[in-house]
Amino acid sequence: MRRVLHGMTGVDLTTIDGIGVETAEIIHSEYGTDLREFPSESQFVKHLRLAPRQSITGGKPQRKGKGKKSVTRTGQALKTGATSLRHSRTALGAHYRKVASHKDSATAVFATARKMAQYVYRLLHYGQAYVDEGAVAFEKRYEAARLNRTAVTADQLGYKLVPKTAAA
């Protein structure tokens, strides 16, 4: 079935971790291969209802009342795929675990599904292939960014970070 979908559409959505043949079928049945109706990635994600709601009017944030809480069929399929990444040794799995360590698992599923939707948009709109960097590379990149943020904060406060040396 994967080869049939690839032959019909010219792209293979199953290369994205967490997206199986069934999810790819749902995405292709809903949107096909043409995403011209969504000029930007953020509009596609918002259409899937995987973007956080930000109610701001008059420059002031409003209380989040009742709104459209249900996700679309494609969004629900991506959330299901994101749930399966909890223990995977991939970059998306590492992203899930990073978010879950700071927030709860529901937020981690939502954030990972959002990231998967971004990859789907890039693959269908630009033809940009998804390449998994792996959990180890993701963690290295995250730690480097964290160290850089800490160094910038220390510099702003007038301090200089010095790495620990091995005990003599």
pLDDT (average), residues 143-152: 92
Summarize pLDDT for 30-65 with one digit per residue, the tens. 888 778 889 999 999 998 988 877 777 777 777 766
Share the mean pLDDT of the chain. Answer: 85
Residue 168: per-residue pLDDT? 46
Q: How far apart are CA 157 and CA 22, in angstroms?
A: 52
Q: Which amino acid, one-letter code, is at 32?
A: G
Of 8-17, 138-147, 150-159, the range with the lowest mean pLDDT is: 8-17
pLDDT bin (cut points 50, 70, 90) of residue 113 is very high
Q: For position 69, what pLDDT does the model report?
A: 63
**pLDDT-based confidence at residue 167 (cuts at 50, 70, 90):** low
Residue-wise pLDDT tens digits, 130-145:
888 888 888 898 899 9
Place of tokens 């292939």: 129
User: Cα separation of 102 and 80, whole Å?
Assistant: 21
Q: What are the two backbone dihedrals, phi and then psi, of residue 166, each rounded to the nearest 5 degrees?
A: -65, 140
| Domain regions of the chain by residue span | 2-52+70-131
Record the tokens describing residue 37, joined without a space. 């109706």
β strands within the chain, DSSP E? 56-57, 60-61
Look up residue 42 and give its two tokens.
């953020």
pLDDT for the residue numbered 2? 75
Q: Is 32 left (phi over 0), alpha (psi -120 to 50) or beta?
A: left
- Of residues 164 and 77, more confidence is placed in 77
Distance CA 110, CA 80 (A): 10
